[in-house]
Amino acid sequence: MHLKTPEHQVAGHIAKDGKPGPLVDDKGRFFKPLQGESRGDNEVKFYESFSSNTEVPDHIRRYFPVYHGTQAVEGSDGASMIVLENLLFKYSKPSVMDVKMGSRTWYPEASEEYIQKCLRKDAASTTVSSGFRISGFEVYDHKELSFWKPDRKLLNGIKVDGVRLALRKFVSSNTLSETSSKSDSAFASSVYGGSNGILAQLLELKTWFESQTFYHFNSCSILMVYENDSILEGNVDDARPQVKLVDFAHVLDSDGNGVIDHNFLGGLCSFINFIRDILQSQDESSAENLHSSP
């Protein structure tokens, strides 16, 4: 089995200081090291519970990576890893964004030290004010024929206007490395809009979160991915914009106590509004251009 480092990881843990990082194989599988302090065990418990939970509708399952169990991996000090579907396997030049959801990113049983660490990070970003923050993203720049990725530390400090700019850059066709250039959001309608676009998928998830009480998704992320080269070539269907939920080390089974996940749902509703605003501004811009044409 040939394993390699993922090419397009935009957030999460990476290999450093002797600790293993995620790996991918050539068969469409993603190997994620088990995190310490019971986080890895918690994530395995979630995947096993979710995989066997017959109450989860099939149309919701498609928003979660397929779980293939755990496996000890050679070359990583025999570390045990969670084996998942590689969400980027079918993309050749994927544009990817990781969005950490919720206005609170710690879990109820966390230590005071961990809570304070999360509070500092949450307060310095849009987590508290907007209910989510952009953890990282990468966009394929077809003019430069390369990927453009902003510094993750810089992203942690952006405020609401910075979030709007990042969400526009994610669906723009102009050269992204030119920070002075205005993002054209040329792909917004193809990626965010439409019956199979990002917004439609987020709304389907929102409907489920308005009633599901099985899990509370603390510190979970939404991963958005699409292929902008396909849009430029006129093959919008091949762009495959998709939403996936990832990172479940802090997910709690709510034991059927009837409480919905207000923390995640609130962040999701806020994020949906940001996407809607971009689509609406694109519609208004198109209408202005139409009226100003000779």
pLDDT of residue 95: 93
pTM (two decimals): 0.88
3-state secondary structure at position 227: coil
Residues 6+ apart with CB under 8 A from 8: 88, 94, 96, 138, 147
pLDDT of residue 77: 62
Q: Which of the residues in the chain have pLDDT under 50?
A: 180, 287, 289-294
Average pLDDT, the chain: 85
CA–CA gap between residue 102 and residue 84 (Å, rounded):
24
CA 264-265-269 angle, to 5 degrees, is 120
- Per-residue pLDDT of 63-85, as tens digits, reads 999 999 998 887 556 678 899 99
pLDDT of residue 76: 58
- All structural domains of the chain: 23-85 (no CATH), 94-292 (3.30.470.160)
CA 70-72-74 angle, to 5 degrees, is 145
pLDDT of residue 108: 75
3-state secondary structure at position 135: strand
